[in-house]
Amino acid sequence: MPITTFLFDLDGTLMDTDALHHAAFNTILARWDRHIGVDDYKTHIMGHANAAIFGYLFPGMPASEYLPLADEKESLFRAQLEKEVAPTPGIAALLDYIDRIGGRRAVVTNAPRANAELMLKASGLAARFDTLVIGDELARGKPDPLPYLTALQLLGARAEEAVAFEDSSSGVKAASAAGLYTFGMLTGLDEARLKAAGAQAAIRDFNDRALWDKVQDQGADKGGAA
């Protein structure tokens, strides 16, 4: 069945912002003379919603105490964003391809809406997506499949005609549980960890030949990467 629907995570997928998030979390943790390392960040932080993250960082802390910290962390992250953020290589060609085939696309993220909208604007991608699904605005965020199921419903699409792109274990689990063929992005995790979470393939960026071989039909528009 032709692939006509494309669902994208944001952080670490459409653009590489994990270093900025990592730094913002450590700015908060420094008040307690604490620090989270890169591997711990990739395992327990990356791709998760703030409620799960702060539950991990501050076990037992009530929401009334961690919510202001979460808000401050997101403000610190947004302050680090430069006027323009470079999108992941190949995304323009892929979005152009989706336009040519009359396909559908959405961003599906656990990022707060303010972050997501600013990142899309800073990367110049805001006008390329009609649908933005925010995990925190639903009953359950990633790793639950609900955000991806919601995106499919909003787009009027079926999982068998869609692919997802994710860089975190949490996100890969969510997309895979929604029945989506999932590309793991090698921006943060290695291929083994992405596939262990459920990714069917791992790619460096949107120029990867494995991506184009999957999404293009025989004899269809071949306007992607060479």
Residue 87 tokens read as 């999108």
What are the chain's domains? 5-16+85-215 (3.40.50.1000), 18-80 (1.10.150)
Helices (H), 103-160: 113-122, 146-155
Q: What is the pLDDT of residues 20-33, one digit of tens each?
A: 889 999 999 999 99
- Look at residue 188 in the predicted model and tell me its pLDDT: 87
Angle at 71 between CA 46 and CA 91, to 5 degrees: 45
Of the candidate ranges 21-30, 86-95, 210-219, the one whose mean pLDDT is the lowest: 210-219
Q: How far is CA 161 from CA 53, 82, 103, in A?
A: 32, 36, 10
| Model pLDDT, residue 225 | 57
Give the phi and the psi of residue 24 in degrees, each rounded to 5. Answer: -65, -40
Residue 110 CB contacts under 8 Å (≥ 6 apart), including other chains:
47, 48, 49, 134, 135, 136, 141, 142, 147, 170, 171
CA 112-167-218 angle, 5° bins: 115
- 84: pLDDT confidence band, cut at 50, 70 and 90? low
Show which residues are catalytic: 9, 11
